[in-house]
Amino acid sequence: MSKIVRTVANQLMLFVLVFGLYVIVHGHVTPGGGFQGGAVIASGVVMLIVAFGSGQIKKSLRERRLSVVESSAALLFILVAFIGIGTVFFYNFLVGSRIFGDIPPTGTNPGNIWTGGVIPLMNVAVGLKVMAGLSAAVLALALFSGGEEIE
Q: What is the contact surface with another protein in residues (CB under 8 A)?
A: 27-31, 33, 35, 63, 67, 70-71, 74, 77-78, 81, 89-90, 92, 95-96, 100-107, 109, 111-112, 115-119, 122-123, 126, 129-130, 133-134, 136-137, 140-141, 143-144, 149-150
CB 51 to another protein: min, Å: 22
Residue closer to another protein (CB basis): 46 or 140: 140
Please state the closest distance from residue 141 (CB atom) to another protein, in A.
Answer: 7
The Cα 89–Cα 109 span in angstroms is 30
Of the pair 53, 104, the CB lying nearest another protein is at 104
Interatomic CA distance for residues 7 and 36, integer angstroms:
26
Q: Is the backbone of residue 51 left (phi > 0), alpha (psi -120 to 50) or beta?
A: alpha
Question: Looking at the chain, how many residues does it have?
Answer: 151
Nearer to another protein, 1 or 103 (CB): 103
For the chain, how many helices (H) and strands (E)? 5, 0
Q: How far is the CB of 3 from another protein (least distance, A)?
A: 31
- The CB-of-32 to another protein minimum distance in angstroms stands at 8
Task: Identify whether the C-beta of residue 132 lies closer than 8 Å to the C-beta of residue 24.
Answer: no
By C-beta, is 8 or 36 nearer to another protein? 36
Residue 62 CB: number of other CB atoms within 10 A?
Answer: 15
Continuous segment of H or E residues that includes residue 133:
helix 119-145
Kindly state the smallest distance separating residue 100's Cβ from another protein, in Å: 8
**Max CA pair span of the chain:** 58
Which is closer to another protein, CB of 19 or CB of 91?
A: 91
